[in-house]
Amino acid sequence: MTQSFRLGVAGLGTVGAAVVRMVARRAETLSAATGRAIRVTAVSSRDRGRDRGLDLTGITWFDDPVALARSGEVDAVVELIGGSEGAAKAVVEAALAAGKHVITANKALLAHHGAGLAEAAEAKGVALAFEASAAGGIPIVKALREGLPGNAVNRVYGILNGTCNYILTRMELEGLTFEACLKDAQALGYAEADPTFDVEGFDTAHKLAILTSLAFGTTLDAEGVSVEGISAITPLDLTMAEELGYRIKLLGVAQIAAGGIEQRVHPTMVPKSSSIAQVMGVTNAVTVDADAVGELTLIGPGAGGEATASAVVADIADVAAGLVRPAFGRPTARMQPASRVEMQRHEGGYYIRLTVHDRPGVAAGVATRMAEREISLESILQRRSERAASQDPHGRSGQPVPLVLITYAATEGTIRAALDAIAADGLLAEAPQLIRIERE
Amino acid sequence: MTQSFRLGVAGLGTVGAAVVRMVARRAETLSAATGRAIRVTAVSSRDRGRDRGLDLTGITWFDDPVALARSGEVDAVVELIGGSEGAAKAVVEAALAAGKHVITANKALLAHHGAGLAEAAEAKGVALAFEASAAGGIPIVKALREGLPGNAVNRVYGILNGTCNYILTRMELEGLTFEACLKDAQALGYAEADPTFDVEGFDTAHKLAILTSLAFGTTLDAEGVSVEGISAITPLDLTMAEELGYRIKLLGVAQIAAGGIEQRVHPTMVPKSSSIAQVMGVTNAVTVDADAVGELTLIGPGAGGEATASAVVADIADVAAGLVRPAFGRPTARMQPASRVEMQRHEGGYYIRLTVHDRPGVAAGVATRMAEREISLESILQRRSERAASQDPHGRSGQPVPLVLITYAATEGTIRAALDAIAADGLLAEAPQLIRIERE
């Protein structure tokens, strides 16, 4: 047997502690799979005094994670500090510069600095591995990087944020508001005290940028992702979705379109019969549409200490076994520049919920503005409130009532122009709600 | 760039032709991913004259596939002949003996001779790769072998045969008999003229044996799989399943049990809300239950030329990139012997459909025999036929009527003993139908 493979773990939070335990617990399997003993030889964390329930006997403690990254005692550095800048970035850069392999779960770091880090890894002939950075315990990075080289990918999309899916699931099943579900998610530890990063879609955008690069061989372009969160979704939207045969999920979608690649994160209507619609609670899922396999869907845990550690340990085993392949599936010099496609040019079906004044001719006025722009309507649903109906059974109460349209494929620019015209006609009592539809 | 990676493809059926085309079509991506140009340099097939629509210019033709396997012109042999013996086995053995990597889609060969072939590959330090052998285009071999080394797997189960799932889906959706659906499947090319291998579960058993070895690190034991097919499933069973909240799928299941590993293939009731229950038509799916990730499900195409070629080409890229890891995740010397657990000791819930004589006291007699063996019943459903009801509205017609029981967990031995006692009591008009229940 060759020399043992020595790991330095920077960051001993939930995931870091789980990695240290897992490497010890699975020692036999890891050595059988890789041909080498794998050992954690060094760790670093902010608070040395904290009891993590870990046996750190024989493991060197570093107060400074950058010193750990440079240490002669480690062959690979496992970065679990988090954040796109600061200590995490310094650790990864120092490790690569010192010719050490890097394994990280840090999606923000990769989304913003992935190309430069991949280049640094290539220059030194070491691995930059990040299975845990997207969709947690689901081996989607491996599937895209190594499992589909025979395929041209057309689209990759998924539920990449457990917090949002948990909130949407509870809103749907219990008829609750976004605010009420968020509060519960915070109480249960599924959402942060400041939930913006999750619920406004930025976390999903980081993960999507990584998957896009792997799927299409393009340079990372996190800034090019169009992002919209779930905070504006109402119980009424979920009820209407249910009636129309859809569920609402926060999806990250990357797709080949005319002139480039669309990258978008937004609440999405998905057909109730689709695999992705069945994914409830904190679970994640990713679907790949590709020319040879058709549709491939992976469903599993998107977060959690053990599930994330599972992905980190899979990377550790790959690297220990000598797998050093280009981080994003191809050398950075051969990655294609990412051509952005603006959302105005996105073409698809739309759910549009208008709040109109209850009076004769409003639906006709709305439909006319759509028809003028050649937007075809699949359904139009008018739902008068009981209050409006009690005030005037003939539909002339003037009360605000919902009017829901489902369109066939149209560009977002056209849809928005039609909505502007409808607003200018004075037909709307509130700003319109617009949710994109994604079909299988 | 290093020397190009030269492939010899033995077998030019649907999959073989798709592989030759895919390697050419994806040349740029394959070289970017692996650092080498990948070329098909030799092919072999039975009928040289047949037009396959392939450009074989510059590719050496071998009438004898074993000569191709030994040829100095190839670095790796892609075996797509099929069958557990004969030419396929000779080709793979000759290639490994000559120190060439082998990529194969041949589940029968692996299920029966996998251990010996893995040993031969190890002895020469070459790869034996077989992603396409189980669940076609789904990268489940990679996921089990490389994606989950941090996990102790508890259970792996899946829909591994598209023909059976197609038949069960149509039976369910259209209320048709097994025979009628089989005929349609044959007409559409989803089932062979002799369908035994698929519909009686043997194909699923071969694939399951491969997944079991990968999941648990045990030696292959295809003979140890308990196998039952779908030909005895009736439209009534599917109707009852629907009413009780289940769907019926042919599953392959491998699971840790007291004293060893259960390997079983049988029609199974799965909860309608489970991911696996959503899988309809020829699609395959595999779920892995493991301690760190919890539940991971992969859904995709189980067969078809392009989808299977996708898996073969992924293996080609891995091998070209220098990935030579133990075929079944660990060296053959470190694989654990497979301890069989007999089906009599299987513990689970059961759906039991009895055909009893319509007369008073029958349900009580059945329930008593169950209670004597401490089998608890979750539901008991008596369904009188219209004919029986019209003959005697008081339930004394003596006509055969179905009586369906759903049990809580019990061992199969106990269930069978109770059914024997019920039969001895003269309560049954027909042999009982027994379908195992698999919960998430």
The pLDDT of residue A1 is above 80: no
Cα B11 from Cα B80, distance rounded (Å): 5
The answer to the question of whether A13 is labelled as a binding residue is yes
Strand partners, A290: A153, A294
AA letter at B6: R
Closest in A145, A300, A321 to B295, CB measured: A300
Strand partners, A103: A78, A129
How confident is the model at residue B387, as a pLDDT? Answer: 66
Question: Cβ contacts of residue B61 below 8 Å, gap of 6+?
Answer: B42, B43, B44, B48
Cα A159 from Cα A247, distance rounded (Å): 12
Note if B124 is an active site residue. Answer: no
The answer to the question of whether A54 is labelled as a binding residue is no
Domain B5-133 has CATH 3.40.50.720: yes
What CATH code is assigned to A140-301? 3.30.360.10
Domain B145-301 has CATH 3.30.360.10: yes
**CB spacing of A293 vs B137 below 8 angstroms:** yes
**CB spacing of A142 vs B137 below 8 angstroms:** no
How confident is the model at residue A394, as a pLDDT? Answer: 74
Per-domain boundaries in chain A: 5-133, 140-301, 346-437
Cα A156 from Cα A289, distance rounded (Å): 6
* Distances from the Cα of B217 to the Cα of A1, B112, B342, angstroms: 19, 16, 20
* Distances from the Cα of B115 to the Cα of A341, B78, B289, B329, B331, angstroms: 51, 19, 25, 12, 10
**CB spacing of A293 vs B300 below 8 angstroms:** yes
**CB spacing of A32 vs B217 below 8 angstroms:** yes
The pLDDT of residue A395 is above 80: no
CATH superfamily of the A346-437 domain: ACT domain (3.30.70.260)
Give phi and psi for A426, each to the nearest 5. Answer: 75, 25
Give phi and psi for A144, each to the nearest 5. Answer: -75, -40
How confident is the model at residue B280, as a pLDDT? Answer: 93
Closest in B139, B148, B301 to A314, CB measured: B148
Closest in A149, A278, A317 to B275, CB measured: A278
List CB contacts (< 8 A) between A325 and chain B: 33-34, 321
Domain B345-437 has CATH 1.10.3720.10: no
The answer to the question of whether A272 is labelled as a binding residue is no
Region A160-189: mean pLDDT is 95
The answer to the question of whether A10 is labelled as a binding residue is yes
> Please, which contacts does A388-394 make with residues 24 or more away whose CB atoms are closer than 8 Å?
A388/A358, A392/A358
Do B79 and B62 touch, CB atoms closer than 8 A? no
Number of H helices, E strands in chain A: 15, 17
Assign A364 to helix, strand or coil.
Answer: helix
How confident is the model at residue A103, as a pLDDT? Answer: 98
The pLDDT of residue A387 is above 70: no
The number of CA neighbours under 13 Å toward the Cβ of B57 is: 2
Q: What sign does the dihedral A209-A214-A220-A224 (CA atoms) show?
A: negative
How confident is the model at residue A420, as a pLDDT? Answer: 97
**CB spacing of B309 vs A292 below 8 angstroms:** yes
User: Which one is catalytic: B183, B207, B249, B272?
Assistant: B207
What is the mean pLDDT of each successive set of 10 residues along chain B, which is 440 residues long? Answer: 90 96 97 97 92 91 97 97 96 98 97 97 98 96 97 98 96 96 92 93 98 97 97 96 96 95 98 89 96 97 95 98 93 93 94 93 93 94 71 77 95 97 95 93
Closest in A143, A150, A278 to B278, CB measured: A278
User: Which one is catalytic: A89, A100, A207, A249?
Assistant: A207
Cα A269 from Cα A277, distance rounded (Å): 9
Question: How many residues are given for chain B?
Answer: 440
Assign A172 to helix, strand or coil.
Answer: helix
Single out the residue of B276, B284, B146, B161 nearest to residue B215, CA to CA. B146
Residue of B nearest to A141 (CA): B147
List, for residues A217-241, the tens digit of each pLDDT value: 999 999 999 999 999 999 999 999 9
AA letter at B346: H
Res. A384 pLDDT band, cuts 50 70 90: low
Q: Which of B146, B218, B278, B328 to mutate to test the interface with A (most CBs of A within 10 A)?
A: B146
Pull the structure tokens for residue B211: 């997944």
Cα B207 from Cα B228, distance rounded (Å): 15
Residue pairs between chains A and B whose CB atoms are closer than 8 Å: 181
Cα B413 from Cα A108, distance rounded (Å): 55
